[in-house]
Amino acid sequence: MRIVVVEDEALIANRIVRFTRELLGGRVSSLVVHATLESATAHVLDHPIDLLILDLNLNGRDGFELLRQAVAGAFHTLIVSANTHRAIEAFEYGVLDFVPKPFDATRLQKAFDRFERAEQSGSHPLKYLAVRRRNTLKLVDVADVLFIQGANIYSELYLRDGSVELHDKPLHRLLDILPTSFLRVHKSYLVSIPAVQHVVSHGSSKYELVLYNGTMLPVSRERYKELKSAVGLG
């Protein structure tokens, strides 16, 4: 288990580290502490991790900036913060738990239990995909994505309102982090299963799916049976 702790108060960071090692023991393969938003963001963007333990006030900087930068990362997040008024905002980002300061080992154990249940179920709380626009980020609600088309090393997100956003990750990277409600139906397409109205067979191993908005997408022969099963047709 690869864990990153982001906390600018050394005493609290040491407390988190001590409790984490006591509670998780040998399951921890690496545990890294960062005191600044910049170093934490660089680490999370460059290294695969399993769990982020994040404070929200980092030398006056907002810890949510890190989640906005790394919102498509395939990891879970626990917030440890005295800013309890921001709990609702935190859960909108899909964090697993909000641990208020001050905390003890019992409360942190509860948060770790929630993390381990999420890991065992294979669920991931991803709610947003980050779309980069020059020097800014736009957060796209995953629930608004109907399908995704590969565009070389990028991906095009087709949204319910008819707009299209360019994402800077290829299809296979997005499939790793998207909810299980997304299925790869073709080498060039991922689709949101709830958006599929029906599947059409044209014979000669040629298949298409039709979305509720009328969009038709190709389905590969290898994915046809899996898709039929996913939409309850087989």
Distance CA 75, CA 54 (A): 12
Question: Given a cut of 80, is residue 67 above it in pLDDT?
Answer: yes
User: Between 16 and 122, whose confidence is greater?
Assistant: 16
Distance CA 62, CA 57 (A): 5
87, 121, 155: which is the final residue of a domain?
A: 121
Q: Are residues 61 and 96 in the same domain?
A: yes
Q: Are 142 and 128 in contact (CB under 8 A)?
A: yes
Q: Are residues 173 and 156 in the same domain?
A: yes
Q: Are residues 61 and 150 in the same domain?
A: no
pLDDT at 123: 59
Neighbours of 161 (CB within 10 A): 7
State the residue range of the domain holding 161: 128-230
69, 91, 121: which is the final residue of a domain?
A: 121
pLDDT at 72: 53
97, 121, 145: which is the final residue of a domain?
A: 121
Q: Are residues 174 and 216 in the same domain?
A: yes
Q: Are residues 202 and 218 in the same domain?
A: yes
pLDDT at 107: 96
Cut 0.85: pTM above it:
no
Mean pLDDT of 190-197: 95
**What are the backbone dihedrals phi and psi of residue 96, each rounded to the nearest 5 degrees, phi first?**
-80, -35
Number of domains in the chain: 2
CA atoms within 13 A on the CB side of 4: 23
- For tokens 């005493």, what's the residue? 11
Q: Are residues 42 and 12 in the same domain?
A: yes
The predicted-structure confidence for 71-115, as pLDDT tens digits, reads as follows 556 688 999 999 998 887 787 677 889 999 999 999 999 999 989
Token duo for residue 153: 């090393």
Give the residue from 219, 142, 124, 134 showing the smallest Cα distance to 168.
134
Question: Given a cut of 90, is residue 225 above it in pLDDT?
Answer: no
CA atoms within 13 A on the CB side of 74: 14
Q: Are residues 106 and 154 in the same domain?
A: no
CATH number where 211 lies: 2.40.50.1020
Query: Which residues touch 182 (CB under 8 Å, ≥6 apart)?
Result: 145, 148, 174, 175, 190, 191, 192, 193
Q: Are residues 54 and 150 in the same domain?
A: no
Q: Are residues 111 and 134 in the same domain?
A: no
